[in-house]
Structures are given as C-alpha cells and as structure tokens.
Amino acid sequence: MSNKQTRREFFKVGALSTLLVGSGIAFAGGCDVIRQRGKTKNVIFLVSDGMSAGTLQMADTYLRRAEGRPSAWIRLLEENVVKRGLMDMASADRIVTDSAAAAASWGCGHRVNNGALNIGPDGTHHDPILPIFRDAGKATGLVTTTEITHATPAGFAANVEHRSQGEDIAVQYYERGIDLLLGGAHNHLSGETRDDGRDLYTEFENAGYNISRNKSELMNGNSTEGKQLGIFANGHLPYTLDQVNTPDLIESVPTLAEMTDVAIQNLSGNSNGFILQVEGGRVDHAAHGNDVGGMLFDQIAFDDAIEVAMNFAQERDDTMVIITTDHGNANPGFSSAPDSQFDNLQKFRHSNSWIGRELNENSTVSEIRERIEYATGYEAPREVAEDFLASMKGEFRATYGRMSGQSAVLGQVIANYTDVNWVGGSHTADYVELASFGPGSEALNGFVINTQLFDVITQAAGVLEPA
C-alpha cells in the first residue's frame, strides 16, 4: 500500500472520525464507512497561489502600519473565528508540488504528478469536484486573477494530461457546464487565437451564458442571474499594484473582491447550494519574479476577497469556507532592519514587471534608475542599476546560479530599499497555512494531507458516497 493510501485510511478512521461527529458527520459500520448528514450547503474555497508564510505576515503588517487595521485572514485567527491547520502539499512525484498537482489533490482527492490535472500516474481519470457538485444539483463557479484555464481553477473542473492544454480545458468547462467563469484567457476562447479556430464565446452564448468582457459589463449587466462567462484579459489579469495606478485598468478590470461578490450573489441563487473556487493567482507569479510590490498588493487584494466570502458565510450556518495556498514560493521575508525600510512599500506605484517592460539590454543606466524611482520611490545607486543591466545582458553571475536572472537581480536591487529578500524564484516545500470555517471545518484543525480536503468537502456537502 502506498504512503498516500495509508494516510487516507488513517485520516478516515482516526482523528477525523472524532472531529466529524461534531459536524454532523457520523461514522458507522466499522473503519471503512463514513456516513454524513450533508449539513454543508455551500462551499467557498479560496486559494492565494504561491503564498509563503512571509507573504501572509507582510500583508498583515502592511495593513496595520498603512491603514491601521489587520488583514482579514489574521483577524479571523485573532478572533478564533476559523480553525487553523498546516497542510502537506506534496504531489505524487515531487516533494515540491506545482499548482496543477496541488489543485488536483483538492479537486479529486488523489495525488497526481506535477503538471497533471486529475489524471493519476497510472492514467486513471478522476472525477473533479465541480462536476460532482453539478451532478448533485448544485451551482459551480471559478474565479481567478489568472487565465481561467490556468492550473488552479482547472484542478477543480478538468481532466488533462498537462496543465498547458488551456484550449482543451476551456472546452471541458463548456462541455461540463460550469455555471460561472471569471478571469482571463481570451486567447483560449476566441476563434481568432485558438489553434482549432473554434469560437467558444459564441458556443457559451448559445448555451445561455451572459458574456462580460470588462468591469462595466460584469458589474452593471445581468451578472447575478443565469450562467456567466467573464473574460477580462487576453492572458492573466494585471497585477493589482499596476491596476490601481492605471486609470484605464481601474475602469476595465474588476478586482478579485468584486468578482467574488458577483459570483456569490449569482451562485447563491441556486436553492440547492453551490461550490465556488476563488484564486489570487498572481501572488505566485510575483513571487516567481521576486516582485515584492506585485506580490504584496495582490495578497491584499486576495484578503479583500476573503472579507467578501466571510461576510456571506458568517450570516449563515450552512457554508464552509476554506482559505489556503497551494505551496510557498521564493519564501520572501522582511529582514532585520529599521521599520522605515518596510514602510517604503507604501510609496510603490508599480510592479517589477512594469519596471522591466520598457527596459532591455540596450537601456542606459540612467533610464533604469529613472524607471525604478518612478515605480517605487527608490533612488537606486548607479552600481546596483549596473548589476541589473548586466543581468539583462546575461552577464551577471550570482553565487547561487538561480539568482542570476533579470527578475532575481531586480528583486535584489529593490531589496536594498525594502529589506524584503528572497531565497530563490521557485516553489518551496513548506507546509502551508490552512484556515476553515463553517460546518465540517472541525475536521481541518491540525495537520492535514492535501487530499483530505476532497473527502471533507464532498462528505460534508453530501454530494458523494464515501468509497
């Protein structure tokens, strides 16, 4: 028997058996049968993709110092509103998971290889959780700041051999009738950009979906009733820091909290309940790029979405909320330094991605310094700007080779200003934070294996008979 099977059996017959009795989930018939009462009508599953522990801390510290309030996530812990756990997110083939295998572990209850979505190492196709809820008569929704076809949302609804099959994932969403889809990925839906020329916008519209292509159409249209497809970027949505400082983006792109609010209003119209997955996906992208401004403000935008979800759930007794991340990324942290260094983040106007967008190996040191200063307020010394230029030319060599690239060097340049630094630019094996609320959440207090969430959710909601 594999380690995964052993852990799942322990989970089903050990500590979970005690915890779930208090949630209305009773165990009967010995060790292999779990019977439940289905007290959970709605499930809201929120994922800050790539959130290291330092990211959570820095968002809370920033809000306390800049706005005089804690983050929603930490306030929920301070007030003992949610249960807190740690979760092991390893995939079937790696200690360090990718987002596809991580989402699939929640989405089907099995560990799969990195890159795969709900297809096991032996080729078995596992039923994803959103179609399971759909077959039980519940509404289903996906919301993200990335492409809607990206790994995390797809892990709840699609079966593909590799996460790169975005066009196939979009077709599966259509064929499986996911009720609400909000995010990016125009390129995977338009007949002008799809490899097969298939116009999925027309197909979704003919199937009765309301189509939104900008914030106004989403917020002022028929978004609270009927099926919804909202696509607000060709690829991923912009970083929050860039969005809030660009008038056109403020007008055209909804925030994650706004999309979450629309989704809950829409899906809660189903009298049988709903499942909604919400992803702050660009926290991960910024961490990969050692981009503290992009990461921090997208984490705060995710925190705003937590507030929306909890405002809905705390008024009821039938809604489970899960708040977590799929893995750490680059493990950023504020080093020992004067507090004023951290407070320099309040001066940021744009992400590192924005800084690099107009720069290349032919840029001058003066141009680099001017763009960094405009974006962050940092008057970068000439020598560090020269290091960044060398990285763009492929001439910079750090002792740890992974820190030699353009994004890593720019991250280190900015770290001189904020004292927020990075261990690398890739996913990490950290046990991740897990907070849960509502009926069934008692089972998620303590140390959790990623696949256990599928069992807890489906049994608490009564949508799947236990194996």
Q: What is the pLDDT of residues 323-370, one digit of tens each?
A: 999 999 999 999 999 999 999 999 999 999 999 999 999 999 999 999
Neighbours of 33 (CB within 10 A): 13
282 and 417 assigned to the same domain: no
Residue 291 pLDDT > 60, yes or no? yes
Tell me the two tokens of residue 48: 């800050």
365 and 453 assigned to the same domain: no
Residue 158 pLDDT > 60, yes or no? yes
> Region 1-22: what's the mean pLDDT?
36
> Region 240-268: what's the mean pLDDT?
97
Q: Is 359 left (phi over 0), alpha (psi -120 to 50) or beta?
A: beta
**How much is the pLDDT for 39?**
87
Whether 309 contacts 278, CB under 8 Å: yes
- Average pLDDT of the chain to the nearest whole number: 92
Residue 104 lies inside a defined structural domain of this protein: yes
Q: Is 33 left (phi over 0), alpha (psi -120 to 50) or beta?
A: beta
224 and 342 assigned to the same domain: no
Residue 466 lies inside a defined structural domain of this protein: no
240 and 350 assigned to the same domain: no
342 and 245 assigned to the same domain: no
**CA dihedral (312, 317, 319, 322) positive or negative:** positive
Domain span holding position 338: 333-421
160 and 277 assigned to the same domain: yes
Instruction: Give the model confidence (pLDDT) of 211-239 as tens digits.
Output: 999 999 999 888 889 999 999 999 999 99
**How much is the pLDDT for 222?**
84
Residue 445 lies inside a defined structural domain of this protein: yes
The residue with tokens 């017959």 is: 13
Instruction: Give the model confidence (pLDDT) of 303-318 as tens digits.
Output: 999 999 999 999 999 9
Residue 467 lies inside a defined structural domain of this protein: no
Helix (H) or strand (E) holding 457: helix 452-461
Q: How many domains is the chain built from?
A: 2
Give the C-alpha separation, 258 to 411, whole Å.
30
Residue 118 lies inside a defined structural domain of this protein: yes
**How much is the pLDDT for 325?**
98
325 and 454 assigned to the same domain: yes
259 and 398 assigned to the same domain: no
Residue 467 pLDDT > 60, yes or no? no
Residue 396 lies inside a defined structural domain of this protein: yes
Give the C-alpha separation, 363 to 375, whole Å.
17
Whether 54 contacts 331, CB under 8 Å: yes
Neighbours of 204 (CB within 10 A): 21
Instruction: Give the model confidence (pLDDT) of 419-453 as tens digits.
Output: 999 999 999 999 999 999 999 999 998 999 999 99
Residue 4 pLDDT > 60, yes or no? no
How does residue 2 score in pLDDT terms, banded at 50, 70 and 90?
very low
Residue 3 pLDDT > 80, yes or no? no
240 and 360 assigned to the same domain: no
- Indicate which CATH number applies to the domain containing 130: 3.40.720.10
269 and 301 assigned to the same domain: yes
268 and 369 assigned to the same domain: no
